[in-house]
Amino acid sequence: MIEKTRYIPDGKKERKNQPVIHYLEAEYLYFPTTDLRCPAGESCVVDGQYVKVGELIGTRQGGFFEQPIHSTVSGYIVGSEKKVHSSGQTVDCVIVQNDKKYVLYENCVSRTEEEIDALTKEDYIKIIKDSGLSGLGGSGFPTYIKLETKHPIHTVVGNGVECEPHLISDYKLILERANRIVEGLTYAMRATGAKKGIIAVKKKYPELYEVLENARQSFTHFDIEIKRVGNHYPAGWELDTIKSATGIKVPQGKLPAEYGVTVFNVATLYGFYRAVKRRMPITERFFSISGDGIKSPKNFQVRIGTPVRDLIALAGGYTETDKNKVLICGGPMMGNALQSDDIVVTKTATSLIILDEEVIPTEPCIHCASCVYSCPVDLQPVQIMNAYKERDKDAINALGVNKCIECGLCSFTCPSKIHLTETMRQAKRFIKK
Amino acid sequence: MNYAKQTSPYIRKETSVKRMMFDVLIALLPLVVFAVYRFGMDALVRIILSAVIFVGVDVVAALLKVKVHPSVKDKKERFKLRWKTLTINHVSAPLVSSVIFAMIIPSTLPIYVLIVGALFGSIIAKAFFGGLGSNIFNPAAVARVVIGLSFVTAFNYVGIDVTSSATPLAAVNDSLASIPAMLESYSLKDLFLGNIPGSMGEISSILIILGGLYMFIRKAADFRVTVSMILSFTVIMFVATLTVKPIVDNGQIIETVLYQVLSGGLLFGAVFMVTDPVTSPVTKPGRWIYGLVVGAIVAAIRLFGALPEGVVFAILLGNIFVPLIDYYKWSKNKYSWKFILGYVVSLSVVSLIVLLALGGIK
Across the interface, whether the CB atoms of A378 and B333 are under 8 A apart is answered yes
For an interface test with B, the pick among A368, A382, A421 (most B C-beta atoms closer than 10 Å) comes out as A368
Cα(A389)–Cα(B264) distance, rounded to whole angstroms? 41
Cα of A262 to nearest chain B Cα, Å: 28
- Tell me the pTM: 0.91
Radius of gyration of chain B (CA): 22
Across the interface, whether the CB atoms of A380 and B3 are under 8 A apart is answered no
Cα of A208 to nearest chain B Cα, Å: 26
Across the interface, whether the CB atoms of B329 and A326 are under 8 A apart is answered no
Query: Which member of B12, B220, B222 has the closest CB to residue A417?
Result: B12
Q: Give alpha helix (H) positions in A27-162.
A: 113-117, 121-131, 143-147
At a CB cut-off of 8 Å and minimum separation 6, what does A224 contact?
A182, A185, A186, A196, A197, A198, A199, A216
Cα(A423)–Cα(B51) distance, rounded to whole angstroms? 36
User: pLDDT averaged over consecutive 10-residue blocks of chain A (433 residues)?
Assistant: 86 81 90 83 87 90 85 91 83 90 86 88 91 82 88 93 88 92 93 93 92 92 92 90 92 91 93 91 90 89 92 89 87 88 88 89 91 94 94 93 92 94 95 89
Cα of B9 to nearest chain A Cα, Å: 4
Across the interface, whether the CB atoms of A324 and B218 are under 8 A apart is answered no
Q: How many CB atoms lie within 10 A of CB B195?
A: 16
Tell me the per-residue pLDDT of B10-60, one tens digit each, with 9 for 90 and over: 999 988 999 999 999 999 999 999 999 988 898 999 999 999 999 999 999
Residue B254 exposed, middle or buried by CB count within 10 Å (0-12, 13-18, 19+): exposed
Q: Are B168 and B157 in contact (CB under 8 A)?
A: no
Residues of A in contact with B1 (CB under 8 A): 318, 324-325
SS3 for A280-301 is CCCCEEEEEEECCCECCCEEEE
Q: Are A333 and A408 in contact (CB under 8 A)?
A: yes
DSSP structure string for B167-199:
-HHHHTSS-GGGHHHHHHHS-HHHHHHT-S---
Tell me the per-residue pLDDT of B212-246, one tens digit each, with 9 for 90 and over: 999 999 999 999 999 999 999 999 999 988 888 77
Stronger pLDDT, B345 or A67, i.e. the higher one: B345
Residue A152 exposed, middle or buried by CB count within 10 Å (0-12, 13-18, 19+): exposed
Q: Is A228 helix (H, G, I), strand (E, B) or coil?
A: strand
Residue B323 dihedral angles phi and psi, to the nearest 5°:
-60, -35
Across the interface, whether the CB atoms of B7 and A421 are under 8 A apart is answered yes
At a CB cut-off of 8 Å and minimum separation 6, what does A128 contact?
A143, A144, A147, A191, A272, A275
Task: Give the model's pLDDT for residue B209.
Answer: 94
The DSSP call for residue B14 is: S
Residues in chain B: 362
Cα(A284)–Cα(A271) distance, rounded to whole angstroms? 10
Task: Give the model's pLDDT for residue B166.
Answer: 47
Q: Is A223 helix (H, G, I), strand (E, B) or coil?
A: strand
Decide if A258 touches B, using CB distance below 8 A.
no
Across the interface, whether the CB atoms of B328 and A332 are under 8 A apart is answered no
Cα(B147)–Cα(B116) distance, rounded to whole angstroms? 7
Asked whether the predicted pLDDT for residue B268 surpasses 80, the reply is yes
Residues from B contacting A (CB-CB < 8 Å) are 1-13, 15-17, 19-20, 87, 89, 131-134, 218-222, 277-280, 282-284, 287, 326, 328-329, 331-334
Task: Give the model's pLDDT for residue B161.
Answer: 43
For an interface test with B, the pick among A320, A366, A424 (most B C-beta atoms closer than 10 Å) comes out as A366
Cα(A181)–Cα(A422) distance, rounded to whole angstroms? 36
Asked whether the predicted pLDDT for residue B2 surpasses 90, the reply is no
Task: Give the model's pLDDT for residue A380.
Answer: 94
Residues of A in contact with B274 (CB under 8 A): none
User: Which among B337, B338, B225, B341 is positioned nearest to B289, based on CA atoms?
Assistant: B225
Query: Which member of A3, A355, A372 has the closest CB to residue B10?
Result: A355
Give the CA distances from residue B160 to residues B44, B164, B166, B195, in Å, rounded to whole numbers and listed in that order: 18, 9, 12, 7
Asked whether the predicted pLDDT for residue B314 surpasses 90, the reply is yes
Query: Which member of B15, B134, B283 has the closest CB to residue A1?
Result: B15
Residues in chain A: 433
Residues of A in contact with B217 (CB under 8 A): none
Return the ∠ at Cα A416 (arms to A410 and A422), rounded to 5°. Answer: 45
Q: Is the dihedral of CA A295, A297, A298, A304 positive or negative?
A: positive
At a CB cut-off of 8 Å and minimum separation 6, what does B10 contact?
A326, A328, A332, A333, A335, A337, A353, A355
Give the CA distances from residue A195 to residues A192, B327, B335, in Å, rounded to whole numbers and listed in that order: 9, 47, 36
Residue type present at position A208: L
Task: Give the model's pLDDT for residue B91.
Answer: 93
A317: left (phi over 0), alpha (psi -120 to 50) or beta: left
- Please give the distance of CA B84 from its chain centroid, rounded to a whole number: 32
Q: Is A227 helix (H, G, I), strand (E, B) or coil?
A: strand
Query: Which member of A339, A399, A415 has the closest CB to residue B328?
Result: A399
Q: How many CB atoms lie within 10 A of CB B337?
A: 7
Residue type present at position A387: A
Q: Are B86 and B63 in contact (CB under 8 A)?
A: yes
Cα of B318 to nearest chain A Cα, Å: 16
Question: Using 50, 70 and 90 to split pLDDT, how confident is the model at B158?
Answer: low
Asked whether the predicted pLDDT for residue B168 surpasses 70, the reply is no
Q: Is A416 helix (H, G, I), strand (E, B) or coil?
A: coil
From chain A residues 146-165, the ones with a CB under 8 A of any chain B CB are: 165
Torsion of CA B6, B12, B16, B20, to 10 degrees: -150
**Given the DSSP bridges, would you call strands A325-329 and A336-338 parallel, antiparallel or unpaired?**
antiparallel
Q: DSSP strand E in A203-272: where?
A: 223-229, 261-265
Across the interface, whether the CB atoms of A5 and B133 are under 8 A apart is answered no
Residue A46 dihedral angles phi and psi, to the nearest 5°:
-115, 160
Tell me the per-residue pLDDT of B60-119, one tens digit each, with 9 for 90 and over: 999 988 888 888 888 888 888 888 888 898 999 999 999 999 999 988 899 999 999 999
From chain A residues 278-337, the ones with a CB under 8 A of any chain B CB are: 318, 324-328, 330, 332-337
Residues of B in contact with A292 (CB under 8 A): none
Across the interface, whether the CB atoms of A1 and B280 are under 8 A apart is answered no
Q: Are A353 and A103 in contact (CB under 8 A)?
A: no
Task: Give the model's pLDDT for residue A342.
Answer: 87
Cα of B188 to nearest chain A Cα, Å: 33
Query: Which member of B10, B19, B331 has the closest CB to residue A383?
Result: B331
Across the interface, whether the CB atoms of B4 and A416 are under 8 A apart is answered no
Interface confidence (ipTM) of the complex: 0.89
Cα of A140 to nearest chain B Cα, Å: 19
Residue B204 half-sphere exposure, CB side, CA atoms within 13 Å?
21
User: Which among B148, B124, B64, B56 is positioned nearest to B94, based on CA atoms?
Assistant: B56
Task: Give the model's pLDDT for residue B167.
Answer: 56
Q: How many CB atoms lie within 10 A of CB B234?
A: 17
Decide if A373 touches B, using CB distance below 8 A.
yes
Q: How many CB atoms lie within 10 A of CB A342?
A: 15
Query: Which member of B13, B17, B284 has the closest CB to residue A366?
Result: B17
Residue type present at position A246: T
Decide if A51 touches B, using CB distance below 8 A.
no
For an interface test with A, the pick among B11, B20, B84, B138 (most A C-beta atoms closer than 10 Å) comes out as B11
Cα(A69)–Cα(A344) distance, rounded to whole angstroms? 14
Stronger pLDDT, A279 or B167, i.e. the higher one: A279
> Which residue is closest to B87 within chain A, CA to CA?
A363
Cα(B280)–Cα(B91) distance, rounded to whole angstroms? 22
Across the interface, whether the CB atoms of B9 and A338 are under 8 A apart is answered no
Query: Which member of B17, B131, B331 has the closest CB to residue A380?
Result: B331
For an interface test with A, the pick among B5, B15, B84 (most A C-beta atoms closer than 10 Å) comes out as B15
Residue A219 dihedral angles phi and psi, to the nearest 5°:
-125, 50
For an interface test with B, the pick among A367, A399, A412, A418 (most B C-beta atoms closer than 10 Å) comes out as A367
Stronger pLDDT, A100 or B247, i.e. the higher one: A100
Residues of A in contact with B17 (CB under 8 A): 363, 366, 415-416
Residue B20 half-sphere exposure, CB side, CA atoms within 13 Å?
27
The DSSP call for residue A112 is: P
User: Which among B267, B309, B308 is positioned nearest to B31, based on CA atoms?
Assistant: B267
For an interface test with B, the pick among A351, A363, A420 (most B C-beta atoms closer than 10 Å) comes out as A363
Task: Give the model's pLDDT for residue B273.
Answer: 94
